[in-house]
Amino acid sequence: MAASAGENVMGGTAAPTVAARRPGSWLVMPSVGVLLIWMIVPLVMTVWFSFRFYNLLDPSVHGFAGLDNYTYLVTDPNFWVSLRNTMVLLVAVLVITVGLGTLLAVLFNQPFPGRNVARVLAISPFFVMPTVSALLWKNLLMHPIYGVFGVVAHTFGLQPVDWFAQYPLASVITIVSWEWLPFALLILLTAVQSLDQEQREAARMDGAGVIAQFFFITLPHLSRAISVVIMIETIFLLTIFAEIFVTTSGGPGNATTNLAFLIYSRALLQFDIGGASAGGVVAIILANIVAIFLVRSVARRLEV
């Protein structure tokens, strides 16, 4: 009697195929394929144009450029200034959001009248679009004549400060920190609420004060949450653009030009698609290096 299709030569049942073991994979494959195309096509085009001469205003400039676009990029002083501004913006916002977020998380975990309303108000800025946030700070708060800060300065007989002319990078850091502080607060407040209260009670009975409890109990407990906040914020802060475009347009000079705005200016202001693509490739490489380091750091903490 011939062996059936489901049996092998020795009489045993044949191993099921991958499709048989995972019947749902056929339903996932179209979305995965679309996602891969969505990511790979722009990446391949960016790498391709980075090795080409391509100027939107001069079609006669074309051909293979080799490493000329990259050489021009790294020898341009604006590139190193933008890289420095990117790092300063990143580190400053992380310090402000993580530091204040930790303190506010501990504060909002304490019972006080109107705590729920205060939590909602503290988290709400995260849901405001970056462009709206930048316009709000630029015209409503930091404007030297019509802004709230200028009115307060006039009230006390002081000279109003033109924030975006005198302290442009600090102003952008303030706006971005205001946007991302609620995110850090939300994650850290959730972590604080998961802290074992019996451990704190035991420390209090042993004579530990509020400061000692914070540094030896609360802060170690928040280390994993802080790592997650740093990782997520870093990935997004490397691509800050709207706040700079709306408020300073990278100026005065290149005082607030970060890597994302430099790529924009090369592509849509100077119409140098090849140079902008080279900057995009460099930005992708830097972002992946930072992301790999942060993901490994978070994974090590989660394994502890």
With a cut of 60, say whether residue 12 has pLDDT above it.
Answer: no
- Range of the structural domain that residue 284 is part of: 68-127+183-303
pLDDT digits 0-9 by tens, 63-103: 898 899 999 999 999 999 999 999 999 999 999 999 999 99
pLDDT digits 0-9 by tens, 240-288: 999 999 999 999 999 999 999 999 999 998 899 999 999 999 999 988 8
Q: How far is CA 106 from CA 92, 94, 110, 177, in A?
A: 21, 18, 7, 19
The one-character DSSP state at 64 is B
pTM for the model stands at 0.85
Does residue 249 form part of some domain? Answer: yes
Does residue 283 form part of some domain? Answer: yes
According to the model, what pLDDT value does residue 302 have?
A: 66
Does residue 82 form part of some domain? Answer: yes
> Residue 6 — very low, low, confident or very high, per pLDDT cuts 50/70/90?
very low
pLDDT digits 0-9 by tens, 187-229: 999 999 888 777 777 878 877 778 888 888 888 888 889 988 9
Q: Name residues whose C-beta falls within 8 Å of residue 286's C-beta, 6 or more positions apart in sequence.
A: 238, 259
Does residue 117 form part of some domain? Answer: yes
Does residue 175 form part of some domain? Answer: no
Give percent helix, percent strand, percent coil of the chain, each to the nearest 5. 70, 0, 25
Q: Which H or E element spans position 240? A: none
Does residue 135 form part of some domain? Answer: no
Give the CATH number for residue 255.
Answer: 1.10.3720.10
Count of domains in the chain? 1
